[in-house]
Amino acid sequence: MSQLEGRSQFVAYVDESGDEGFVFKPDGTGSSRWFVLSAVVTRRINDLQMVECLKDARNVLGKAPRTPLHFADLKHEQRVPYIRRVGNLDIRTINIAVYKPLIRDVGKFKGERHLLYRYLTRFLVERLCLLVNRSFRTPLDRNRSTEIIFSDRSNMSYEEVRSYLRRLIDITFNSSDDVWIDGSVIDPREVRSVQHSQLAGLQVADAVATGVHFALKLNRYRETENAYFSHIAKTLYRHNGKILGYGMKFWPEDYETMKKIIPQIADLEDLLH
């Protein structure tokens, strides 16, 4: 499986788990309560490690070469060895987790298609810029450019995503205190979408996003599954030693507030410090 070539120093693979709907039925069915947007960030020179990870995982799982891996489609006993290998990669992950029932201005997100996705992309890219500038980059890295590759959603316009990022860069340039997107790290022209099956990095991002989602959502037995999250916890981006707000960002409330409202996320406490 070949990865995309490019001049950028870093690559961020982005995938999601959950949906953007707001139909929450009393029995727990309908739209997903949680929506998770995740980025897997690596140096381009280390990009092939994910190809090797997928090869190794397929071999262990008895899958044919080049078979795309969809984390949600695997059985639990298959997910564990796969996510363990992901957790051992030299990557950093950024995860934005929104609990949709707490969003106050629901009408805004219902009224404009994919607005929620773009809004969470802003949170993701702000943290990506911070990661590259403060943690990943060494004094020898003059080039801070980062290619962002989204897992393609057939019904979404990525030109709208690029336009949105251009607006955010302009806002940042005009000294906004609320938005921080570094144009030397993010070039909207270097933002693209690719089919999940075509890149190992996107399949790794799928495993991360879905693993986080499993740790947050209640299943039909009203239980969560944090076994997968425990394996990827060491990949979470830490800024000044802090994961919360950086490698793991909760929205529309902060973690401490969400923990009071949604008790099951307290099960992640030890993994988030």
Please, is 105 exposed, middle or buried when counting C-beta atoms within 10 Å of its C-beta (0-12, 13-18, 19+)? exposed
Low-confidence ranges of the chain (pLDDT < 50): 1-6
The three-point CA angle 188-192-198 to 5° equals 160
Residue spans of alpha helices (H) in 88-177? 106-111, 115-130, 158-173
pLDDT at 84: 98
Reported as a single tens digit per residue, the pLDDT across 163-185 is 999 999 988 877 666 778 888 89
Calpha distance 47→29 (Å, rounded): 38
What is the predicted pLDDT for the residue at 60?
Answer: 97
Whose CA is closest to 153, among 4, 11, 19?
Answer: 19
Cα separation of 37 and 248, whole Å?
10
Tokens (6 digits) for 202: 């996107």
Per residue in 105-118, pLDDT (tens digit) is 999 998 888 999 99
In the DSSP assignment, the letter for residue 90 is: S
> Positive or negative, the Cα torsion across 204, 206, 207, 212?
positive
Say what the pLDDT of residue 85 is: 98
Q: What is the pLDDT of residue 27?
A: 83
* Whole-prediction pTM: 0.94
Distances (CA, A) of 64 to 3, 56, 200: 19, 11, 15
